[in-house]
Amino acid sequence: MSAKVYVLNGPNLGRLGSRQVDVYGQTSYADLVALCESTGRELGLDVTVRQTDAEHELLGWLHAAADEQAAVVLNPAAWSHYSYAVRDACAMLRGPLVEVHISNIHAREPFRHHSVVSAVATGVICGLGVDGYRLALHHLAAHRAAS
């Protein structure tokens, strides 16, 4: 039986490939979905990838992941920096949470340097482009094997 992993993405990430390519790269959102799904298959993980620009929708997905005790790879995007609602939903998770940022948030504008989500995450990957998602899935697969 494969482990359930949700890869959840916040606002504007559906615009990957056309949004600030100097910061976020040229990989499209469809390519990111394909990367996560294929990596999941290789690792024996049941990966579901979702993106929303609606905070309440992300909260619902996090609540469902908590109820299922599923692992989560989360790029909260702008919500990282100020959404206590997203942070509190993440704190309810019973499976591991890996926070991922495509860009290095610590090398950008000062308001991006802090994430309210990081304090409740199992780990944080930032600045490695979309490869951060692949690394997060590898970590979760290894974590599952060690449990």
Domain ranges of the chain: 3-146
- Determine the longest span between alpha carbons in the chain, in angstroms: 44
Of the given ranges (8-12, 14-18, 83-87), which has the lowest mean pLDDT?
Answer: 14-18
Give the C-alpha distances (Å, rounded to integers) separating 4 from 39, 133, 138, 144: 13, 15, 13, 10
- Fold classified for 3-146: Rossmann fold (3.40.50)
Dihedrals phi, psi of 7, to nearest 5 degrees: -105, 110
Nearest to 66 by CA among 43, 46, 88, 84: 88
Positions at the binding site: 75, 81, 88, 102-103, 112
What is the reported pLDDT for 106? 75
- What's the pLDDT at 20? 67
pLDDT score of 25? 61
Annotated binding site for substrate: 75, 81, 88, 102-103, 112
Closest CA to 137 of 39, 48, 51: 39
Give catalytic residue positions: 24, 101
**Cα–Cα distance between 120 and 124 in angstroms, integer?**
10
- For the cut 60, the answer to whether the pLDDT of residue 16 exceeds it is yes
pLDDT value at residue 103: 83
d(CA 127, CA 131) in angstroms, rounded, equals 9
Enter the pTM of the model: 0.92
3-state SS of 16-62? CCCCCHHHHCCCCHHHHHHHHHHHHHHHCEEEEEEECCCHHHHHHHH
Q: Rounded CA gap, 46 and 59, in Å?
A: 21
Q: What is the pLDDT of residue 118?
A: 95
Q: What distance in Å separates the CA atoms of residue 52 and residue 11, rounded to the nearest whole number? A: 6
Average pLDDT, the chain: 91
pLDDT one-digit tens code per residue, 35-72 = 999 999 999 999 999 999 999 999 999 999 999 999 99
Residues of the chain with pLDDT > 70, as a percent, come to 89
